[in-house]
Amino acid sequence: MTAMTHRDRLVLAIAAACFLIILVIEEFSPVNVVGAYGYVLPILLVTTLRNRTIMLVTVLACVAATYSGLLQPTKPGRFQSAVINRSVVVGVLLSVAYLGVSWEERKAREEAARAALARETESLLKANTQLVQAKDQLNRSERLAAVGQLVASVAHEVGTPLHSIAWHVQALAEEPGATPEMRKRVAIIDDQLTRVVRIIQDLLSSTRPRQLEPQWLPVEEVVSPSAVLMEPAFHEKGIILIVDIPKDLPLVWADKEKIHQALVNVLANALAATPAQGKVTVMAGSREASSAELDRGRLIADGMSSSVVTIEVQDTGCGMPEEDVQKAFEPFFTTKAVGKGTGLGLFLSRESVVAHGGSLAMTSEIGCGTIVTMTLPAMQREPIHTREEA
């Protein structure tokens, strides 16, 4: 039986009060059968409770109270007439009870049907939403497949001249007149050419990209090469690039090349969004991992401690509206002008970070700038090991 609500208890109390009042009236004027019709009121009140047991008890009580009037003394020859009159009242009470119960049950069935229809409608809307999302995902997959085929064909054609460029760069580094600063720049160019060649090899090897090769590395070793590579572009545009990497950070779980590529993508976006005289800050830190971060990280990173490393790239650019932030990691979404961006940089960067057991998130405010936060599994390092690795 369903528990009675406060409203149900109030209705039941009113019905009981009406029943007692009519019963008292009947006691004082048993000859006047009209008062017995008043038992219709408690019956109608009880029908709103939609409880057959309570209705049955109420009807039996009203019928018994109606016939109890026959126990009072009557005039000679009037008993038979009183029985007939009160039987008529009982018939009316039973009819009212039947009609009331039927009406309330019909209302209950209609309400149940409306609720079922609402649930079915909600289920259909969810199914339609999932269908639209699946269609969008299929369209994105088809576009990514087409882009992959195009990139593979382009990569094949680009590979040969890149090898030639790499050879000439190495020759420049060996020139007698090369200064230390020139050799430093040439070394950076050579490293990036090597990285491009490896990316092209990944694209040409098969439809499956190169497997990650993560390891526990110092944070500075992961972050600094990206900052060094992008620093000339920031300097040329008149933007201050600040890199803040504390010395006591734990080791970070990273495939150096993949995270380097992700950081370069994020820094390139910050460079494009920040005006001259602006500032871009790269800050590394660590914090306690949430339970979800621990579960996700320990599935991939052996030896992960209870903390994570965070790498934030904060710019003082124009910022983005919330609707654009929600779509920022979707493939092919870009706020840049046509021909200035493919919309794949952040998408591929997040895929790489997630494959490490980490996450890539973005917050932005129009007129204040954007913060992109990369979170990766961490492992507390021992000082002796750190000195040996250094």
Domain spanning 215-389: CATH superfamily: Histidine kinase-like ATPase, C-terminal domain (3.30.565.10)
CA dihedral 85, 87, 92, 97 (to 10 degrees): 150
Average pLDDT over residues 335-358: 77
At 140-180, the pLDDT tens digits run 777 666 666 666 666 656 665 776 677 677 777 777 777 88
Among the ranges given (107-116, 124-133, 196-205, 242-251), the one the predictor scored with the smallest mean pLDDT: 196-205
Average pLDDT over residues 372-383: 84
Q: Name which residue leads in pLDDT, 298 or 76.
A: 298
The answer to whether residue 250 scores a pLDDT higher than 90 is: yes
What's the length of the chain?
A: 390
What's the pLDDT score for residue 354? 92
What's the pLDDT score for residue 210? 61
Average pLDDT over residues 24-52: 80
Ramachandran area for residue 319 (φ above 0: left; ψ -120 to 50: alpha; else beta): left
CA separation for the pair 68, 86 (Å, rounded)? 10
pTM for the predicted model, two decimal places: 0.52
Tell me if 374 sits within 8 A of 263, measured CB to CB. yes
Tell me if 242 sits within 8 A of 280, measured CB to CB. yes
Average pLDDT over residues 241-251: 92
What's the pLDDT score for residue 207? 45
CA separation for the pair 277, 384 (Å, rounded)? 43
CA separation for the pair 269, 120 (Å, rounded)? 45
CA separation for the pair 294, 259 (Å, rounded)? 20
Q: How is the chain split into domains, by residue range?
A: 6-120, 138-205, 215-389
The answer to whether residue 181 scores a pLDDT higher than 70 is: yes
Tell me if 356 sits within 8 A of 255, measured CB to CB. yes
Average model confidence (pLDDT) across the chain = 82
Q: Which of 94, 61, 74 is nearest to 32 (CA)?
A: 74
What percent of the chain is modeled with pLDDT above 90?
Answer: 23
Burial status of residue 358 (CB atoms within 10 A of its CB: 0-12, 13-18, 19 or more): buried
At 283-339, the pLDDT tens digits run 999 999 999 999 898 888 888 989 999 999 999 998 888 888 888 888 777 776 655
Q: Give bridge partners of residue 378 from the DSSP assignment.
A: 252
CA separation for the pair 252, 224 (Å, rounded)? 14
Look up residue 214 and give its amino acid. Answer: P
Tell me if 223 sits within 8 A of 311, measured CB to CB. yes
What's the pLDDT score for residue 267? 93
